Chain A
Amino acid sequence: MVVTSSWTEQALAVLRKDILVEARNRTSVNAMIFFAATMLLIFSFALGPNPDRLKAAAGGLLWLAFVFAGLLAFGRTYQLELENNAWEGVLLIARHRSAIYLGKVLGAAAVIYAVEIVVVPLMAILYNLGLGSNLPALILVTILGTLGYAAIGALYGALTLSLRAREILLPLLLLPVVVPLLLAAVEATNAVFTGSGGDIHLWLEVLAAFDIIFLTIGLLTFEYAVGE
């Protein structure tokens, strides 16, 4: 008798597979952390020791680092599928392609979260940001912002997978779409750093709305995005 796996189990299988492959390689996470750390270090020198200036720029720079880390993550999550043409094998047997999509979103988000866990404390030191009581709010902002970014990045990564110039096309197609989300994320992060608590709730709601919209679009359209 065949025991069936649920939609959630199928999505988690993709997430588990992506994390296992990434954990056994660790090349892309290491590269992303190195890149983000270098970028933040350079800007901290460029902006000088003025704490107000550093604080004002921190939100934008943090998300700039996450954006580039994400671009690497989205490229990487589908790059590994090209090995042995595994992606074709996945599409051939997948019971629910929408579950594959959610697994890819969570897998890419997990990689970016791993980068963020290292980069945020580093930034707090370099930019003299006393996170303290603001840390829970910052965690919430990064979770929501990253999830929305991964939701649309995983969709566009699949769209550009079969294209010859995918490394160039992915950022060109993706970045204009995520600009509103990134603006909200930057504003929310700035609100955390400057301690203007009233604005945070508004921006968190905007980020949550983007997450729902992007995830819904992805779940509904992924099947067609990966069709021949």
Chain B
Amino acid sequence: MRSAPIAELQGVSRLYGSVLALHAVSLQVHAGETVVLLGPNGSGKTTLLKVLAGVVAPTAGTGHVLGRDLREPRNGGPGGLGLLAAESYLYDDLTARENLAFALTIAGRKPLPATLGSLLESVGLAAHGNERVRRFSSGMRRRLALARVLSLDPRLLLLDEPYNSLDVEAADLVDNAVRRVTASGGASVLATHDAARAIPLADRIARMDAGRLTGIEQVNNNGCDKLLDRASSGRSS
């Protein structure tokens, strides 16, 4: 029998003005699983991640994420949640080290030098810790944003197009982070266009279109190749 879900949405909709970005989406995310969201641009993947993160409140429907009611305002720290958004959330005029120290402190943790050092090392930026982010390439920013998210030990890792701007080595860092979170009893939800990269990580694949969840498929090792074939040929089920 499965444990209680880490995240649960029931009939969640989200309106931006007159645009319906999410329409009656119901989804459960359980501990130890990775859910990959696939869908074209504007299908509602980012909005779904932001609703799960509590950044965007649902217009209709109910939901709980890590025990928090999504209709209540966020306060009290990250609460086990980590969002790697399309935007980096970094300050360009601070150094990489200062960015991490700031994030840790306001999240309620002391930024110990050893912690900062190992975080920077884990994303391959140990030599760039004292450089301002303004001088970073987009790939380096993405690495630092990942370190910022992982610094808070998330139980639910939400990733929006995590492979954008990343080389193969850095993309492996993302994959390893996802595996680490799920292996430690957490869960990950990953929205991407890079199906070939994400499907091997997936336990389930949720397909979205025009704000609706059009299907959820369970992935097993045998079916993985078929799914990859379908994804690469552009067909959706």
Contacts and interface: CB of A to CB of B under 8 A. Distances in A.
A2 B93 contact: no
Interface residues of A, number: 35
Interface stretch (B19-27, B35-43, B96-104): B96-104
Given A92-B78, A94-B75, A228-B57, A9 B105 contact: yes
Interface residues of B, number: 39
B58 to A, nearest CB: 10
A196 interface: no
Interface in B91-131: 91-94, 98, 101-112
Contacts, number: 107
A13 B83 CA distance: 21
A5 B75 contact: no
Contacts of A14: 106
Contacts of A20: 93-94, 98
Contacts of B81: 92
A17 B102 contact: yes
A99 B89 contact: no
B109 A4 contact: yes
B90 to A, nearest CB: 5
A95 B93 contact: no
Interface stretch (A62-70, A79-87, A142-150, A177-185): A79-87
B55 A91 contact: yes
Contact of A85 (B85, B94, B107, B132): B85
A10 interface: yes
Contact of B89 (A4, A16, A89): A89
Contacts of B85: 85, 88-89
Interface in B54-84: 54-57, 73-78, 81, 83
Contact of B91 (A5, A9, A10, A21): A21
B165 interface: no
A168 interface: no
A198 interface: no
Contacts of B169: none
Interface of A: 2-5, 9-10, 13-14, 16-17, 20-21, 24-25, 80, 83-86, 88-97, 99-100, 223-224, 227-228
